[in-house]
């Protein structure tokens, strides 16, 4: 176990915000985590940090950041058509995807290259290209922070929603240790979303490997690499509006892109709303709006969390003034 004091988090958040935490503690195993909690933590509050790819730090953290280094992946059950795989919370998400694709197990290939860790995948219910974590997660194992006792959540217990899950709303904090996934040995490919089919024309066959490569190249063409330019992926969620409000908007903007969510609700890409409000590619000091995907806010160098919050508030006000639609951050502010 590694305990660090007054530790810089700059390398631990993809926005690259330079803040520090009072304590930063890494543990390698579930037992180390239990021992750590049993011995009492040196400060409060406590936050379980993954890869920091969906966070915005707005100030130094006065408590303890726990960082899982539980990194084992193992198949725990095998059936004719599927396999259950258990992966440690500290595994890099895309390493897990690469492992499954390599084994020929389908289900997560559309989630290739999403930044983050396995432990964060059910919390955020990560999603892309027509697939969400909820489609493959069968059980989440963790430790209840208050009682230091093991807990398990079935898929239904997780109460998955759009970039949402029970883990964000529990009264008692849970630290995820392992996530169990159900993967298919006879996968049905999901190719309907966006330009996947078009991208796949570059390959002779369609299989898990080529889908993974196609998704990676689509993502790389649109989303900035956090190593080159700090960002946290989509900064905002795509808003859901009533069908009535959508129909009113459609008379004014006949080309408005949209997805039907239910008979009464329609989802509108926040990227479109932000672009129409004039923000695409705009800069504000050290922060900016990405020129290929305006859902993504970028750190142009040495930005503070407050600068990002300020820009995000300006964008939200513009979108609300123009369309009467509220957009909300997907990123968590700390
Ligand atoms: N659009 C514009 N202008 C642009 C870019 C996009 O108007 O400059 C409009 C287009 O109409 C486009 C639509 O926005 O068709 C949707 O764009 P895209 O397919 O790129 O998806 P998204 O809604 O922007 C969501 C997820 C992404 C995920 C992609 C692909 C959210 C908040 N974001 O983005 O997730 O990768 O779909 O499935 O749901 C993330 O959560 O960090 C993330 C990157």
Average pLDDT over residues 212-227: 95
Q: What's the confidence (pLDDT) of residue 2?
A: 86
CATH number of 2-68: 3.30.43.10
**How many angstroms does the Cα of residue 269 sit away from the middle of ligand 1?**
6
- The pLDDT of residue 145 is above 90: no
The minimum-distance atom of ligand 1 relative to the CA of 233 is 42
Q: What's the confidence (pLDDT) of residue 51?
A: 95
Residue among 233, 188, 212 at smallest CA distance from 82: 188
What long-range pairs does 280-289 form, CB within 8 A, spacing at least 24? 284/310, 284/311, 284/314, 287/311, 289/315
**How many angstroms does the Cα of residue 325 sit away from the middle of ligand 1?**
17
For the chain, the structural domain boundaries read: 2-68, 73-221, 225-333
**CATH topology assigned to domain 73-221:** 3.30.465
CB of 21 sitting under 6 A from ligand 1? no
Q: What's the confidence (pLDDT) of residue 22?
A: 98
Burial 15-45, CB ≥16 within 10 A → b, else e: bbbbbbbbbbbbbebbebbbebbeeebeeee
Pairwise CA distance, residues 322 & 276, whole Å: 9
Q: What's the confidence (pLDDT) of residue 194?
A: 85
- The pLDDT of residue 288 is above 90: yes
**How many angstroms does the Cα of residue 91 sit away from the middle of ligand 1?**
26
Average pLDDT over residues 92-118: 97
pLDDT digits (tens, 9 = 90+) for 238-282: 999 999 999 999 999 999 999 999 999 999 999 999 999 999 999
Tell me, rounded to whole angstroms, the distance of Cα 3 from its chain centroid.
27
- The pLDDT of residue 171 is above 90: no
- The pLDDT of residue 146 is above 90: no
pLDDT digits (tens, 9 = 90+) for 34-50: 999 999 999 999 999 99
The minimum-distance atom of ligand 1 relative to the CA of 193 is 38
Ligand 1 pocket test, pick from 269, 277, 281, 329 with the greatest ligand atom count within 8 Å of Cβ, gives 269
Six-digit token string for 55: 């966070």
DSSP 329: B
Q: Which CATH number fits domain 225-333: 1.10.1060.10, 3.30.70.260, 1.20.1250.20, 3.90.78.10?
A: 3.90.78.10
Q: What's the confidence (pLDDT) of residue 88?
A: 98
Pairwise CA distance, residues 1 & 64, whole Å: 14
Residues 155, 50 contacting (CB under 8 angstroms): no
- The pLDDT of residue 95 is above 90: yes
Average pLDDT over residues 180-199: 95
Average pLDDT over residues 20-37: 96
What is the pLDDT confidence band of residue 1, given thresholds at 50, 70 and 90?
confident
* Average pLDDT score over the chain: 96
Q: What's the confidence (pLDDT) of residue 99?
A: 98
Show which residues are catalytic: 163, 234, 330
Q: What's the confidence (pLDDT) of residue 257?
A: 96
């Amino acid at each position: 176990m590694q305990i660090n004091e007054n530790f810089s988090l700059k390398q631990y958040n993809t926005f690259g915000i330079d803040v520090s935490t009072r304590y930063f503690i890494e543990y390698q195993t579930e037992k180390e985590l239990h021992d750590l909690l049993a011995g009492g933590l040196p400060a409060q509050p406590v936050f379980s940090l993954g890869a920091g790819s969906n966070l915005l730090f707005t100030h130094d953290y006065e408590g303890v950041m726990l960082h899982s280094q539980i990194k084992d992946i193992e198949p725990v059950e095998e059936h004719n058509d599927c396999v259950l795989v258990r992966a440690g919370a500290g595994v890099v998400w895309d390493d897990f995807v690469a492992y499954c694709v390599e084994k020929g197990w389908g289900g997560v290939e559309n989630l290739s290259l999403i930044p983050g860790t396995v432990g964060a995948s059910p919390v955020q219910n990560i999603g892309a290209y027509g697939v969400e974590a909820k489609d493959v997660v069968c059980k989440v194992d963790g430790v209840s922070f208050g009682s230091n006792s093991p807990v398990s959540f079935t898929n239904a217990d997780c109460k998955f929603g759009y970039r949402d899950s029970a883990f964000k709303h529990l009264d008692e904090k849970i630290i995820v240790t392992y996530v169990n996934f159900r993967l298919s040995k006879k996968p049905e490919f999901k190719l309907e979303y966006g330009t996947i089919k078009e991208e796949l024309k570059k390959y002779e066959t369609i299989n898990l490997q080529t889908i993974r490569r196609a998704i990676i190249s689509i993502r790389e063409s649109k989303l900035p690499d956090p190593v080159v330019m700090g960002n946290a992926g989509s900064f905002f969620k795509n808003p859901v509006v009533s069908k009535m409000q959508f129909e009113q908007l459609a008379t004014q903007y006949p080309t408005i892109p949209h997805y039907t969510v239910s008979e009464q609700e329609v989802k509108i890409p926040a990227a479109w709303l932000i672009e129409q409000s004039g923000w695409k590619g705009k800069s504000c000091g050290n922060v900016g709006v990405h020129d290929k995907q305006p859902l993504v806010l970028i750190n142009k160098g040495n930005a503070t969390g407050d600068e990002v919050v300020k820009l995000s508030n300006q964008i939200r006000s513009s979108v609300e003034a123009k369309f009467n639609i509220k957009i909300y951050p997907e990123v968590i502010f700390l």
